Structure formats: structure tokens, C-alpha cells
């Protein structure tokens, strides 16, 4: 059994490599993790090109949704993007929050931070900054953000509860998040979950949908809403790398599902509200 630190190191190493890959390679695999498919193109990511503020140079094709489309960002908002990569969602958030807003991208991979900063600098985006750090303990003061977004990142983090707790800390009272992520319904075959490449590829790091939703609720959030949901179909020529032919048939014919969803939740307006697990209720 790999430790949390070992799993995080796997992800850091892989995403340092992904930062140097082209978008086509990333989109034709599971979050850029390799195992490119000849069956279909664009396994998880969605088309950003129609969104205002989109910059092709910042789009590495690593997402599994369009959280900024659902994030209800207003002019002047402070927006934080968890796992900001090359800056794609940050630049769209900047368009929504305007010149009076501020956008902060957090990523723990040096290569991604360097790429994002370069993309911001060449475009003169003075109200977008990128900070290297861990999203389980963000380098941001408490009660600072109006909106938090994230795209296909929390599934990569072993301690998801710690991330959700830190999201609660960083959001202002009444602030909200919109997060796109990968979740499961039913148990993945062991071959998928154990493989390190598949972990870095967003699938075996995913947790059950009901567990994900309960973590959000247990950390005191309100108005929890699934804004969008779709099944993720992993092609046979990727699955066969992890499953025997018999396992492949059983997996495809079973009740297990892999989904991308976008979930919204709001931090209560009152700071005095009792948070489950906080010792007051």
C-alpha cells in the first residue's frame, strides 16, 4: 500500500511531464497520463473554445468539466483555482471577474506554475497570479475568496477531506465553489485502482460519488447541487492494459460507472454556524 506522500509524488512527477506534452496527447488519454486510445478522442475533457477569456496556449486538455461556466463569478470577485495547470480556468475566471477582480491559481508542480506565469505575463494579466503550494493547505489567508473552482484535481489528492476543509477555510462567509471532478458508482477492478499511471490519470484516485457528496456536507457546506453529470467511457484499448479479457467484459457489463460531475456548494453566511465535527454540535 502506497502512502499519501508516495501517491502525491507520483502525481507531481507525472504532471511535470504533462506540462511539456501537447494538448492532443493529453486529451486522447486519461488526464494526460498515457495509454493513448485509438478508439476515441477526448475521453474526459470538454470544449472550452466557446467560453470568453479562453486562451488556447493555456489549455492542456486535462479537465473533465467546465467549472468556470457554472461558477457564477461576478465582477470584482476574488477567484481561486485549485490545480491551475497552465492557467486555462484562471484566464476564463479573469474574464468573468473583470479588471476589478483577482484570480489566484494554486498548483504544486513547478513546471505548471512556470508555464502559467509565462502565459499570464505575455498577455499582461496583472490581476492573475500563480502560487506554488498544496491544495490541502493553500498559501492563502482565511476568508479570502468569493469563489473557488477546480477541474479534475481533487480526485488526484489522497486526502480529499483535508482539501474540502481548506476550501471552507479560504472561502469568505457566503462564498461558494464549483468543482468538476471524477467520481465512481460501484467498485473499480483492482487492476485499475492499483496502477500508478492510472492513479495519475484521474481514475483510480476517484472516490464513490456518495462519499464525495457526504464529505462536502460533513464539512458544513450548504446548497449542495450537482450542476452537470456525464458518464466517462474508457475505451477498450486502454482498459485492456489493466484488465484481463474476462475482467473487461465483467466491468463493461456490470453496474460500476465512472462519471465526471460538477458540484456546487456554499459556505454559510454566518461564521458562527456550527460546522459538523467542530465540537459544537
Domain residue ranges of the chain, discontinuous segments joined by +: 4-233+254-266
- The rounded distance, in Å, linking the Cα atoms of 119 and 117 is 5
Query: What is the C-alpha to C-alpha distance for residues 127 and 99, in angstroms, rounded to an integer?
Result: 7
In whole angstroms, what is the distance from residue 280 CA to residue 123 CA? Answer: 48
Confidence at residue 227, expressed as pLDDT on a 0 to 100 scale: 97
**Range with the lowest mean pLDDT among 27-31, 112-116, 277-281?**
27-31
| More confident call, 277 vs 88 | 88
Q: Helices (DSSP H) in 19-53: which residue ranges?
A: 23-27
* pLDDT > 90: percent of the chain: 48
Compute φ and ψ for 216, nearest 5 degrees: -65, -45
pLDDT for 15 beyond 80? no
Higher per-residue confidence, 95 vs 9: 95
Cβ(44)–Cβ(182) under 8 Å? Answer: yes
* pLDDT (average), residues 63-84: 94
Question: Is residue 72 classed as helix, strand or coil in its secondary structure?
Answer: coil
Work out the average pLDDT over 53-59.
73
Q: Quick one: pLDDT band at residue 96, thresholds 50, 70, 90?
A: very high
Question: Cell numbers at residue 193, please?
Answer: 485502482
> pLDDT category, 35, cuts 50, 70, 90?
very low
Q: Please report the pLDDT score of residue 279 as a whole number.
A: 52
Closest CA to 65 of 259, 277, 233: 259
Percentage of the chain modeled with pLDDT above 70: 75
The rounded distance, in Å, linking the Cα atoms of 238 and 112 is 26
Please write the tens of the pLDDT for every residue from 176-219: 999 999 898 888 777 776 664 554 455 667 889 999 999 999 99
pLDDT tens per residue across span 109-145:
898 999 999 999 999 999 999 999 999 999 999 999 9
Which run of H or E residues covers position 107?
A: strand 102-107
Distance CA 163, CA 82 (A): 10
Contacts of 87 (CB under 8 A, 6+ apart): 55, 58, 105, 115, 116, 119, 120, 128, 130
What is the number of H-type helices and E-type strands within the chain?
Answer: 11, 8
Is the pLDDT assigned to residue 51 strictly greater than 70? yes
Topology (CATH) of 4-233+254-266 = Rossmann fold (3.40.50)
pLDDT for res 238: 75
DSSP string, 122-185: HHT-TTEEEEE-BTTB-SS-TT-EEEEEEES-GGG-S-HHHHHHHHHHHEEEEEEEEEEEEEEE
Model confidence at 241, in pLDDT bands (50, 70, 90)? confident
pLDDT at 8 over 70: no
C-alpha cell at position 70:
457554472
Give 188's DSSP letter: P
Q: Is the pLDDT of residue 267 over 90?
A: yes
Mean pLDDT over all residues of the chain? 82
Q: Residues near 127 by Cβ (< 8 Å), separated by ≥ 6?
A: 94, 97, 99, 101, 102, 103
Amino acid at each position: 500500500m502506497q502512502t499519501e506522500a508516495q501517491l502525491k509524488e507520483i502525481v507531481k512527477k507525472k504532471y511535470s511531464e504533462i506540462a511539456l506534452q501537447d494538448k492532443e496527447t493529453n486529451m486522447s488519454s486519461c488526464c494526460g497520463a498515457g495509454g493513448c486510445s485509438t478508439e476515441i478522442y477526448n475521453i474526459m475533457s470538454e470544449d472550452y473554445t466557446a467560453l470568453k477569456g479562453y486562451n488556447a496556449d493555456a489549455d492542456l486538455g486535462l479537465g473533465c468539466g467546465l467549472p468556470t461556466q457554472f461558477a457564477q463569478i461576478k465582477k470584482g470577485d476574488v477567484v481561486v483555482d485549485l490545480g491551475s495547470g497552465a492557467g486555462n480556468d484562471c484566464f476564463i475566471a479573469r474574464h468573468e471577474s473583470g479588471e476589478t477582480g483577482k484570480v489566484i491559481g494554486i498548483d504544486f508542480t513547478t513546471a505548471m506554475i512556470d508555464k502559467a506565469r509565462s502565459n499570464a505575463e505575455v498577455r499582461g494579466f496583472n490581476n492573475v497570479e500563480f502560487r506554488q503550494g498544496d491544495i490541502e493547505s493553500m498559501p492563502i489567508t482565511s476568508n479570502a475568496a468569493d469563489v473557488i473552482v477546480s477541474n479534475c484535481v481533487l480526485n488526484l489528492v489522497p486526502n480529499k477531506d483535508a482539501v474540502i476543509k481548506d476550501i471552507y477555510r479560504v472561502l469568505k462567509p457566503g462564498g461558494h465553489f464549483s468543482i468538476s471532478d471524477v467520481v465512481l458508482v460501484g467498485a473499480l477492478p483492482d487492476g485499475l485502482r492499483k496502477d500508478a499511471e492510472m492513479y495519475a490519470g484521474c481514475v483510480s484516485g476517484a472516490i464513490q460519488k456518495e462519499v464525495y457528496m457526504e464529505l462536502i456536507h460533513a464539512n458544513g457546506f450548504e446548497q449542495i447541487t450537482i450542476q452537470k453529470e456525464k458518464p466517462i467511457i474508457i475505451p477498450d484499448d486502454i482498459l485492456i492494459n489493466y484488465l484481463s479479457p474476462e475482467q473487461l467484459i465483467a466491468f463493461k457489463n456490470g453496474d460500476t460507472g465512472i462519471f465526471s460531475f460538477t458540484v456546487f456548494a456554499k459556505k454559510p453566511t454566518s461564521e458562527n454556524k456550527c460546522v459538523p465535527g467542530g465540537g459544537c454540535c
